[in-house]
Amino acid sequence: MADTLHYTPLITYTEYAGHASKIVAQALIEHVDAVIAIGGDGTVNEIATALCDTKVPLGIIPRGSGNGFARHLNLPFSPREAIIAINEGYVRHVDYGTINDKHFFCTCGIGFDALISYRFSIGSKRGIQGYFEQVLRASRKYESEEYHLELDGESYDCKAFVIAIGNASQYGNNAYITPEAKITDGLLNMTVVHPFAIIDTPELAFQLFSKDIHKNKNVATFGCKHIIIDREKPGLIHYDGESCMMDHRLTIDIHPQGLAVICQQKKKQRLPSPLLWSNLIKKINDQIPWPKKG
């Protein structure tokens, strides 16, 4: 019945980087029905990585600054609606990607956006305003680099400002860097932004949010399953908004249908009784200090 709570929630806090993966490992030993991530793409990435290629589905209550994975899946942003969707338990199997030893579920990449991810991670301002402040500061001095790409065995040399690889369509905050990406098609979508004139910046920025960046004259796009990127030296990469240093050679692969995710049913359903959900929301609110948005 729609008024029935199907799960008994156990709320556990993460205490340090990497703790979520240990929590998931224990949860798998205990044969839980699902693991729910409450947070942004970084939290989702760590939990989803530990759930890849298992039968236990991931649920998401989005509470981050970008929430790219949740946005791509059209998940509810209201905690109440997200819990209702999780309770209904409609599971889809989606793809995930790897860049060397790191998993990603939205995007990964190198170049300018990897630098911004790093600066954003150590900055004090969150949300889209903080992100754009970092963009404005870094863009004045950033120099594009030379890359050698192998895309499903085909070679491609380029000088690029950004190379982004998408399993999903966006970074987060509805910034669609790989707008044609589908999370269940067994393909990676690559967007290469070549060096461009300052006068082209407004158009690129507008197209990033209008899902049209692939139509820009300074952009090339590709669809493939296996990517090798060679650059002159080791440097920054980003994966789902997290940044780290990585070797000069990067190997990026798609892993079809490797993650089970709880999504909303497409058909409309009768909402459970307000009393049931108000009690559950109160229980969660009493235990979780929800972060402030932005």
Is there a domain that residue 13 lies in?
Answer: no
Is there a domain that residue 142 lies in?
Answer: yes
Cβ atoms 142, 162 nearer than 8 A = no
Quote the DSSP letter at residue 184.
T
d(CA 130, CA 124): 8
Is there a domain that residue 132 lies in?
Answer: yes
Q: Check whether residue 169 and residue 36 sit in a common domain.
A: no
d(CA 254, CA 224): 9
Q: Check whether residue 44 and residue 125 sit in a common domain.
A: no
Q: Check whether residue 155 and residue 47 sit in a common domain.
A: no
Amino acid found at 43: T
Is there a domain that residue 274 lies in?
Answer: yes
d(CA 144, CA 192): 11
The total number of structural domains that make up the chain: 2
Q: Which long-range contacts (CB under 8 A, 24 or more apart) does 266-269 make?
A: 269/2, 269/88
Q: Check whether residue 146 and residue 212 sit in a common domain.
A: yes
The residues that bridge with 155 in the sheet, in sequence order, are 150
- Write the CATH number for 268: 3.40.50.10330
- Supply the range of the domain harboring residue 222: 102-257
Reading the chain (294 residues) residue by residue, the pLDDT tens digits are: 345 677 888 999 999 989 999 999 999 999 999 999 999 999 999 999 999 999 999 999 999 888 999 999 999 999 999 999 999 889 999 999 999 999 999 999 999 989 888 887 766 565 566 666 666 666 677 899 999 999 999 999 999 999 999 999 999 889 999 999 999 999 999 999 999 998 998 899 899 999 999 999 999 999 999 999 999 999 999 999 899 999 999 999 999 999 999 998 865 444 445 555 555 556 556 655 555 544
Is there a domain that residue 293 lies in?
Answer: no
Q: Check whether residue 245 and residue 147 sit in a common domain.
A: yes
Q: Check whether residue 200 and residue 121 sit in a common domain.
A: yes
Q: Check whether residue 84 and residue 190 sit in a common domain.
A: no
Q: Check whether residue 82 and residue 122 sit in a common domain.
A: no
Is there a domain that residue 231 lies in?
Answer: yes
pLDDT number for residue 240:
94
Q: Check whether residue 111 and residue 228 sit in a common domain.
A: yes
Q: Check whether residue 241 and residue 113 sit in a common domain.
A: yes
Quote the DSSP letter at residue 221.
E
